[in-house]
Amino acid sequence: MKIRPKRLQIGDTIGIIAPSSPPNPKQLKRSLKFLDELGLSYRMGKSLENVYGYLAGSDEERLEDLHEMFADPNIAGIICAGGGYGSARYTDKIDFQLMNECPKIFWGYSDITFLHTSMNLYSDIVTFHGPMLASDVGKDTFSDLSKKMFQQLFTPMELHYTEAISPLTRFSGGVAQGELTGGNLSLLASGVGTKYQVDTRGKLLLIEDIGEEPYRVDGMLNQLRQAGILDAAAGFIIGDFKDAEPKKRQVSLSLDEVLNHYLGSLGKPAVRGFKIGHCEPHFAVPLGAEAELDANNLALVILPGVE
């Protein structure tokens, strides 16, 4: 069992960091109103406004922000401003022992997947795959359900996902229980062969992505297949694959054909259509928490991520 961080209380201070690319400053500013509505105070990371090419400051600056927020006892949780690219550049320098000794809420997705996977592996803590401040919260499209998902940080609650939220498609039936792991498929594929390769043994694997054509998704799933990552998993939770239509080739396999080839063929519970990822609404989930995927009845239950 992973360590569940303490729940948030009204009046708590959260740290805001940019572990990857520079966030949109206008959208970040707009997002702060939502934190006010939640009753939270906030403190910005020192490198939050830094720009170093496609990175929010140097690797050392971004890593320092991450470490400082975990080490500071006055910071109750950390929410990422945005993703982009760059979190994997300093993962081998992270003080995972610090995070294990000072477990706290850590929330983000997309490029942040590399940090989720490494923290789950080496800090043994539950982290949260959810919408980020500048990337999502600060936009007009930020939905009521996405807002509601933040309540799981204040009250330990089971999450229930059914077709009442979105249509779901079964690739393979059955029921599987296990720890929830995964996130952005591109980042999971980039971790193959490193110390931060996702561990799916007996777990439910979540995948999502954006802007990847079927042939690209095919290549990434094949990489996971050949690394034994798909065979090891107990089941598959297939999130949103926004803008996944073929562009380079007029004749293509469909995304469903690709997903069914790699996941449906394994005979393990596999369901597609979860609004998890680069989408609205964005159903936020705790990675490292125990979950049950009932592919027969198209239902997902996830145990609380905080204590």
Residues in the chain: 307
CA distance 293 to 160: 10
DSSP 22: P
Q: CA-CA distances (angstroms) from residue 79 to 53, 166, 264, 267, 270?
A: 22, 26, 34, 37, 30
Burial of 11 (0-12, 13-18, 19+ CB in 10 A): exposed
Tokens of 140: 């007009």
Give the type of residue at 283. F
From 118, 278, 282, 290, active-site residue? 278
118-258-109 Cα angle (round to 5): 30
110 classed as catalytic: yes
**In 44-57, which positions are buried (b, 16+ CB within 10 angstroms) versus exposed (e)?**
ebebbebeeeebbb
Q: Look at residues 99, 87, 91 and name the one whose alpha carbon lies nearest to residue 57.
A: 87
Q: Are 287 and 125 in contact (CB under 8 A)?
A: no
From 21, 110, 118, 135, active-site residue? 110
Q: CA-CA distances (angstroms) from residue 303 to 94, 157, 244, 271?
A: 28, 7, 31, 19
Place of tokens 């990422």: 80
Please give the radius of gyration of the chain, using alpha carbons only, rounded to the nearest integer: 18
58 classed as catalytic: no
208 classed as catalytic: yes
CA distance 15 to 24: 17
CA distance 182 to 113: 7
Just list the catalytic residues.
110, 208, 278
